[in-house]
Amino acid sequence: MAKSFEFLFDYGSPFSYLANIQTPRFAKRAGAAVIYRPILLGAVLKATGNSSPMTVPAKARYMADDLRRWASRYGVEFRINPFPFLRNTLNLMRAAVAAQKLGVFAAYHEAIFPAIWADGLDLGDPSVLGMVLRRAGVDAQALLAAAETPEVKDELRRNTEYAVSRGVFGAPSFLVGDELFWGNDRFDFIAEALGRIA
């Protein structure tokens, strides 16, 4: 049986951005396939009684410092995105599901995370999002139209319900079989879990 693990993410999560940078190289080293599962983090937080660290001032200050530490450790650009679209990433997450269905997920995914967390762009502005998608070689009009279909909306809802049913309470989260791992710094534990797969 081929080894695989699930990566549950929301583009509004800066730690998901940091985890995403490591995921492909880790998967290659581990000889495992990645199952990318877009979820709606706000709905997960609500369903589990959790809240964003940004709602606790001391935690928000610490998180900003910690994000910069991790970005430095990984050698990547990082900036806090100031734009209000991050409070509701519904459109971006629906578009991720649509991109999977249209076969353009890799290009979409590789463009969205750095646009938010390295370039600090306002992806709530349709013209900015369109520019990012065009640069990635993605047909923005087709993708955004697909993102509004009932099929895509239902799949994002199912992904989010699935996450909650599996014990997910935040992002990034990883699933290996029955085991859940949360955070951008859990790859050693994920490797151990993959090693237990026959």
Q: Which residues are catalytic?
A: 13
Give the span between the Cα atoms of 160 and 108, in whole angstroms. Answer: 20
Q: What does each C-alpha distance from 186 to 66, 148, 176, 193, 198 come to in angstroms?
A: 15, 34, 12, 11, 21
**CA distance between the termini of the chain:** 7
- DSSP-derived letter for residue 125 is S
Residues in CB range of 145: below 8 A, 6 or more apart: none
